[in-house]
Amino acid sequence: MSMSFDSRVRAKSNRFKDEGSVERILNATEILLQERGHEALTTTLIAEAAGVNIATLYKYFPNKYSILGAIIKQNRDVWLKAADRSVASVLAGSDWRATMEQIIDFAARRRQDQPGGYALRLAVLALPELQSFAREESLETASFLSDFLTARGGLDPTRAMQVARVAVDIGNSVLDLALFNPSEDPPIWIAEAKAAVCQYLTPHLERRAAL
């Protein structure tokens, strides 16, 4: 049975209302992360800051970890789209080193500039409940880099994925040093991340030219 016009309007209105509630919850959580850190987060505090009742929050999220996971996924989707565009530009002829440096710059800004970025990264590293989200992002980032290594460097897919995972871990580790040691001049750490990743990838991406 098809829905009546009034039913369709109500369904659409409820969908928009749902989307608005979720967005308020995610935005409030980011602000609270920035102001108080992940240790102080509770679902009650988030609901109050978002201007929704606790029942509404639990309608979408069973606990605070699922909210943090939704923020991680949202940020990851933006990150992967930007990285994918950068890789496509290299395959079209752009310099791969310059592109990798742009990707690392984007990753650093994402951690430093987004609301609650520092606290969120700290939570990802500290909380077992968020480890699966961190692994998923790392693997997805390695996956697009692996495809690039296969297309540009001629590596077989298994080897390309191994190299990509190491490169991603190198970049993440050095960028964490920039994030957690702001008094030590973060741009220096970011430059080190670029140098380390590019140096590691060079023999894999330029071996064809050497043959």
Q: Is the pLDDT of residue 127 over 50?
A: yes
Q: Is the pLDDT of residue 115 over 80?
A: no
Are both 103 and 149 inside the same structural domain? yes
Contacts for 30 with CB less than 8 Å, ≥ 6 apart: 71, 114, 115, 116, 120
Are both 97 and 123 inside the same structural domain? yes
Structure confidence at residue 128 (pLDDT): 92
Are both 77 and 150 inside the same structural domain? yes
Look over the chain and give the mean of its residue pLDDT values, rounded to a whole number: 84
Q: How confident is the model at residue 208 (pLDDT cuts 50, 70, 90)?
A: low
Structure confidence at residue 18 (pLDDT): 55
Query: What does pTM read for this prediction?
Result: 0.79
Per-residue pLDDT tens digits for 93-114: 778 898 889 889 888 888 777 7
Domain housing 22: 1-62
Share of the chain above pLDDT 90, in %: 43
Are both 39 and 81 inside the same structural domain? no
- Among 34-38, 171-175, 194-198, the range of highest mean pLDDT: 194-198
At 154, give phi and psi (nearest 5°).
Answer: 75, 15
Are both 45 and 146 inside the same structural domain? no
